[in-house]
Amino acid sequence: MSLSPIIEVDALLSIHKNADVLIFNVRTGKSARAGYEAEHLSGAVFVDLNSQLAAINSDVSIGGRHPLPDQAVFAKTLTDLGISKRTHVIVYDDANGSNAAARFWWMLKWTGHDKVQVINGGLEQARKSNFPMRSGTETNSRATEPYTIEQLTLPTVTMPEVKKAAQHPDYLVIDVRSKERFDGITEPIDLVAGHIPGAINIPFTENLDPNGLFLKPGELKSNYEKKFGDVKSERMIVHCGSGVTACHTLLALSYAGMEIPGLYVGSWSEWSRGLGFQN
């Protein structure tokens, strides 16, 4: 039986001291490290989106705000974090898995790492369930062999491919940002408001219930099947602002037992600055 991509806090409480389990607090933003040091799950090691899960460059029009790192660089990051091919990786953030935790999950699956799960409800749910908490900084002292990535196993999509697919009736380009950003009413981050012509909007928040927990797999599957119709996963492209929050929807689809579509990593941050925005 395959491992669910989502783990409940109660289940984590029963395994978190196992030798093969490592927990990671995956955050982003100016106060990310300070937030981790103020409070995190006992045993959790900090992972930074900007420096460890992306290869940020000065030209956002090439790759967007959070381009993927070179796979050799990412393999070294995994080695430095003490992760081996046998490690059961548990990840969480302070945003119901909708931000950096889902990105780390997707990147590990992208490299073929099977044993990785995201905590349902993240930090807030762990607090409610009385998971042991700590402050300060923690590290993994265990030595591990260099992590190697033999083959990338999840699809990524380039801007020219998105441009072609968005105008094709047999494809779906799915924007998971809020309706206000999709409609161009507001744009708090990127230079231009709006969306990719031909894209549809399914906000990632629809994956969650009012308590910030993922909907049950069957409900997620039913909801998405109604919206996808007859379009197969290989003809779907998911994106957001910079290829991070889109991973929350890819996580939800995997939790629902559905195939994981292609990720447009550059997303709106690249499209709105690059050739994709031009006629």
Q: Which residues are catalytic?
A: 240
- Rounded Cα distance between 175 and 172, Å, is 10
- Tokens 């109604």 found at: 226
CA-based nearest residue to 20, from 92, 93, 84, 111: 84
E strand or H helix that includes residue 175: strand 172-175
Tell me, rounded to whole angstroms, the distance of Cα 242 from its chain centroid: 11
- Tokens 């491919």 found at: 161
- Tokens 């669910």 found at: 4
- Tokens 């009413």 found at: 185
Contacts of 181 by beta carbon, 8 Å cutoff, 6+ apart? 187, 188, 193, 195, 241, 268
